Amino acid sequence: MLSRKRRSLIIIGLFVLGVLLPVINKNSEITKVKAFASPFPNNSSPIVLNNGNRFVWVVNPDNNSVTRIDIGDERNFPTITIAVGREPQSLVLSADDTKVYVANTVDGTVSVISTATSQVVNTIKVGTEPRAVVLSPNGTKLYVANSNSSSLSVIDTKTDKVTKEIRLSAAPDGNIRPYALAITNDGDFDDNDERILVTNFLAQYRPNDVRPGFDDGKAGQVFIIDTARELLTDTITVEPMMDTGFSSNGSAIKRIAAGPSDRPNLVATGAFPNLLNSIVIKGNKAYLAATGSQPDGPVRFNTNVQSLLSVIDLQSNRDANLTTNMNFGIQFEPDKFDLQNNPLTRFVTVPYALAFKKTSNTGYVVSSLSNMIVQVNLDDQGKGSINAPKAMGDPGNITRILVGKNPRGIIIRNDDTRAYVMNYVSRDVTVVDIVNNKVIATVTSAPQPTDQRSQFIQRGKELFNTSIGPIFDGQAATFKGQGRMSNHGMGGCFECHPEGLSDGVVWMFPDGPRRAIPLNWDFDKKNPSIERVYNFSANRDEVQDFELNTRNVSGGAGLIRLANNEQDPMVANLTPLANTGRNPDQDAIAAYVSTIRAPISPFSQDDLDVKKGRKLFEKAGCVTCHSGSLWSTAIRDFSPPPAADRIKDGQILSVLKKVGTLDRNKTHEIIGTGATMGQPSRGDDGFNPSSLLGVYANGPYLHDGSLTTIDQVLNNPNHVGTNKVLSSPKKRAQLIKFVLSIDDRTEPFPLKK
């Protein structure tokens, strides 16, 4: 292990080399190589600095544009906004600062902007839903992570042409979704001796070990790609944490009955790293800040999700076993709140990005739901710490810096004095003085919507993506620090519904094991009056009913309240009252949900097999239950609340179908929380037919997430029947391809009644 001093000497040395070498070799071949960009490893980000450290460039995903901010002499002023493709999520500057490359997630393209003219000079077609871009150390190659086609596109930056598609699996596979990139930098002029690190967005079951509902049932994945051979060489398993430091008062999966809730210390809880939005290299290690999902019941706000900082050893390409739970010590912190009683002592919920200083082991983690960045320090081994208290009574020394709404990216200037934070919902950039740890400016990067409807939807998006707001206006919470959306900022919709979709986790809920449902299933986007009956047991009928998740899962004060601002006790699933129209913020969440787009399928609607598969889908009778614009017959055909005769045991009986997917022998087929924990789960009356919109990237499948491929779904004759389409290998493959191609572009079949 190098001492800190030697390490920084080497870094300074590399800096000097990087500046001098191109000059020294002025007349040799090497000048043909672009200027040596930076002595540091790179990682993908929605916000970057130019190499001169004069401009910050940031994407505006909801405005289909990028903005350049002049940061020279602390001007912090937006200078240019340039239109790009739809939903830009990541960008990078070329090594000589002449070009900006922007990944447009919805368009499946990379826009090339000339910095001299501020014009888009080229648009390069890449894979499906490109999410991240990173440049090789000398800038010769651009790598693009195609999150919905399981591949990386390689672009030669001299010609701006795609030279190769590096596959992470033989064919596009919805279980493999490359989301964030980092690339090593050995400091020489050769870009063909590096390694690219690629995160898989969602945690996966281990091979032949499908254990829905377990706190250690899944693991994260990082793929390693060799830049010389341009192929996948290794897959690193990012291990769950077995003891997060938060105990629970029982365990559904382990059949330990819930004890009194004032005695929560019965069972240690684990968590697996999920939502792998970012990866950063520092020294010979890589760091991932991830949401630690804890699906086992009983659900309580503090044993639901954690904030894991995992470390990968780049010498052995293995998990370094140095994972920390950044939330751990926060439970011992003295409570602090602002004048409106909002929690200032808040958890690091949904860490979305991180960055380290160049010359020290200090960095910052972006907590996207808690609207803050948190300082993190690495010890000599490389283990991270936010300097939280170690036990009750120890005040700790956490540095939290409050930033804009829903921060999702961070970049640190080369002189280590400033950090720039990209805030998705407030559409601005927070400039942070990281010597004194204080905010010095907020720069608007894109305008907020102006028409009323879009403003309403934006309000809903804000609430969906926060663990804190809305601000209290002096209104009462049950106790100080609780917050409307969660207890001490420890929860929010996004933690289980990233981008409004699904975290792929099977949560042990009051009905039984329930995979988080992607919310693109819920409304006909062209006609939002067409809405689904909700949940696998059809026990809810309005998005507003999910107020109960805020209150019960996340421990928040909630939005629906009485005139005196106390929580309205009359909020229930189906009856007696409709929950729509009772609180404008809750209605705004529903309005936002109605806009969530389906993941885009990599399979073209024009593919011949897809076209044949479409006919087979009809022929095999799938349309009996998967038709209409929602690709599910579970359309709500009443105005809430439903008549009493529609309800059986709290379910809208008419939509349920018995399809033989309930297996009582499974360890997880039990009620996950509440007084009846451990008793048989719901499902004897059947399940609510799933929508198939975006099924490609919305797995694992079924109510209990027990299947990972469509082929497995088709193995159950009680579900799909016995039509001979299913036994012909060729036709079966065509049917599967069609099913995997269904997204918002696919023409639906008329609703079968």
Binding site for ligand HEC (CB under 6 A): 304, 491, 493, 495-497, 507, 509, 511, 514, 516-517, 519, 521-522, 532, 534-537, 543, 546, 549-550, 553-554, 589, 593, 620-622, 624-626, 657, 659, 661, 687, 689-690, 692, 695, 698, 701-703, 710, 713, 719-720, 739
We find the least distance from the C-beta atom of residue 658 to ligand HEC, in angstroms, to be: 8
Q: Peptide bond before 576: cis, by omega within 30 degrees of 0?
A: yes
The length of the chain, given as a count of residues: 753
We find the least distance from the C-beta atom of residue 750 to ligand HEC, in angstroms, to be: 15
Q: How far is CA 669 from CA 132, 649, 701, in A?
A: 38, 18, 15
Contact present, 469 and 486 (Cβ < 8 Å):
no
We find the least distance from the C-beta atom of residue 597 to ligand HEC, in angstroms, to be: 15
In the complex with ligand HEC, the residue whose CB is nearer, 319 or 462, is 462
In the complex with ligand HEC, the residue whose CB is nearer, 227 or 291, is 291
We find the least distance from the C-beta atom of residue 544 to ligand HEC, in angstroms, to be: 9
In the complex with ligand HEC, the residue whose CB is nearer, 624 or 728, is 624
We find the least distance from the C-beta atom of residue 720 to ligand HEC, in angstroms, to be: 4
We find the least distance from the C-beta atom of residue 126 to ligand HEC, in angstroms, to be: 27
In the complex with ligand HEC, the residue whose CB is nearer, 434 or 707, is 707
Structure tokens at 97: 């600062």
Structure tokens at 632: 């599910």
We find the least distance from the C-beta atom of residue 620 to ligand HEC, in angstroms, to be: 4
In the complex with ligand HEC, the residue whose CB is nearer, 221 or 537, is 537
We find the least distance from the C-beta atom of residue 277 to ligand HEC, in angstroms, to be: 17
Q: How open is the CA angle 416-192-52, to the nearest 5 degrees?
A: 30
Which residues lie below 8 Å from residue 367, measured CB to CB, with a gap of 6+? 307, 346, 347, 348, 349, 350, 351, 352, 373, 374, 407
Q: How open is the CA angle 258-262-268, to the nearest 5 degrees?
A: 55
Q: Peptide bond before 273: cis, by omega within 30 degrees of 0?
A: no
Using CB atoms within 10 A of its CB, is residue 639 exposed (0-12), middle (13-18) or buried (19+)?
exposed
In the complex with ligand HEC, the residue whose CB is nearer, 409 or 672, is 672
Q: What is the largest CA-CA distance in the chain?
A: 87
Contact present, 618 and 612 (Cβ < 8 Å):
no
Q: Which residues of 267-294 are buried (b: 16+ CB within 10 A; e: fewer)?
A: bebbbbbbbbbbbbbbbebbbbbbbbbb
In the complex with ligand HEC, the residue whose CB is nearer, 129 or 542, is 542
Q: Tell me the residue type at 231.
A: L
Which residues lie below 8 Å from residue 316, measured CB to CB, with a gap of 6+? none
Contact present, 82 and 66 (Cβ < 8 Å):
yes
Question: Mutual orientation of helices 729-741 and 608-619 as an angle, nearest 10°?
Answer: 100
We find the least distance from the C-beta atom of residue 298 to ligand HEC, in angstroms, to be: 12
In the complex with ligand HEC, the residue whose CB is nearer, 41 or 220, is 220
In the complex with ligand HEC, the residue whose CB is nearer, 56 or 702, is 702
We find the least distance from the C-beta atom of residue 545 to ligand HEC, in angstroms, to be: 8
In the complex with ligand HEC, the residue whose CB is nearer, 474 or 750, is 750
Contact present, 139 and 34 (Cβ < 8 Å):
yes
Contact present, 506 and 705 (Cβ < 8 Å):
yes
Tell me the DSSP string of 147-171: TTTTEEEEEETTTTEEEEEEESSSS
We find the least distance from the C-beta atom of residue 577 to ligand HEC, in angstroms, to be: 18
We find the least distance from the C-beta atom of residue 482 to ligand HEC, in angstroms, to be: 15
In the complex with ligand HEC, the residue whose CB is nearer, 55 or 701, is 701
In the complex with ligand HEC, the residue whose CB is nearer, 64 or 633, is 633
Contact present, 265 and 292 (Cβ < 8 Å):
no
